[in-house]
Copies of this chain bind each other. A is one copy, B any other.
Amino acid sequence: MTDHTPQRPGHFALVVFPQYEPLDAFGPTEILHGLGHPMVNPDSAKVHLSIIGPSLEPVSSGPAEGDPSPHKSRVAQSIVPTHTFDNPPKDIDVLIVPGGFGAGPKALWGGGWEPAGVERVVQFLRDQYPGLKHLLTVCNGAGLAARAGILDGHKATTNKQLWQVITTTGPKTHWVANARWVVADNGKLWTSSGVSSGTDAMLALVDYTWGKNAQGVLFGDVLKEGMEWNRVYDSTADPFAVSNKCTDVEPQAA
């Protein structure tokens, strides 16, 4: 990526669905909150976030209706989409896909159940990927991208506590264990590990796409100072792969 010339994306979009994991979503978007500040970025007016959900009604991170699994937190935040999957904004540059209980797959949590809306999210990702500049998945959001076929033939990573289950969703993917995040498909495809790893991946993506400011400082470094974020620069520095004893899962032969 050393010969890479940054192409500064302006239109970011976040996918939300019932039982999304809040920090998966709000870590990466906090970075955009900063990138959209005039005091941080003279070109901030270019930065825009769309939030895309099943409908324009608030979407809760709490238990979904009909879910029989007891493994659900009662702690929830509801956020408000700006667009729907059926009527999304045009010209999305970067699409952010969180994980969470609502991302499934069915084999997770022992419930054998997932919200009926998951297939719609998978289809949305399948439809959008060709037109994107970048896709960033966080946590088991990688499983949604895998089910859309987007990870086929690529390297990727995902949550380390859910490693055994999520990696089954992408049998044609080389799942990299020792990775806080993985970049593939010529810089288009970014997958991160669990929850807060998405924030480090997003800082790296901002550096990759926005590069340095007029003072020669990487935008990601300006932003991590404002967030007081103890940033991880090395994408292979992943103590959680070690603590969870994860090893690579090679793609299966066709």
Q: Are A36 and B228 in contact (CB under 8 A)?
A: no
A38 and B71 CA atoms in complex are apart in Å by 6
Chain A, 182-214, CB within 8 A of any chain B CB:
193-197
Interface centre among A32, A39, A73 (most CB of B within 10 A): A73
A229 and B23 CA atoms in complex are apart in Å by 11
Task: Tell whether A245 is near chain B: CB-to-CB under 8 Å.
Answer: no
Chain A, 59-103, CB within 8 A of any chain B CB:
61, 70-80
Q: Are A48 and B74 in contact (CB under 8 A)?
A: yes
Residue of B nearest to A243 (CB): B225
Fill in one digit per residue for A122-151: 1 if any B CB lies within 8 Å of its CB, else 0.
000000000000000000000000000000
> Which of the residues B21, B49, B197 comes within 8 Å of A76, measured between beta carbons?
B49
> Which of the residues B34, B35, B51, B229 comes within 8 Å of A77, measured between beta carbons?
B51
Residue of B nearest to A100 (CB): B33
Task: Tell whether A160 is near chain B: CB-to-CB under 8 Å.
Answer: yes
Q: Are A74 and B58 in contact (CB under 8 A)?
A: no
> Which of the residues B12, B29, B160, B227 comes within 8 Å of A194, measured between beta carbons?
B227
A229 and B198 CA atoms in complex are apart in Å by 11
Identical subunits present = 2
A76 and B75 CA atoms in complex are apart in Å by 22
A36 and B26 CA atoms in complex are apart in Å by 19
Q: Are B75 and A229 in contact (CB under 8 A)?
A: no
Residues on the B chain within 8 Å of A70, using CB: 38
Q: Which 7 A-B pairs have the closest CB atoms?
A: A194-B228, A36-B73, A23-B30, A26-B26, A36-B75, A78-B80, A49-B75
Some 19 contacts from A to B, beta carbons below 8 A apart, are: A12-B75, A22-B29, A23-B26, A32-B73, A33-B61, A33-B73, A35-B73, A37-B72, A38-B70, A48-B74, A49-B74, A58-B80, A78-B80, A79-B80, A161-B226, A195-B227, A195-B228, A196-B230, A225-B243
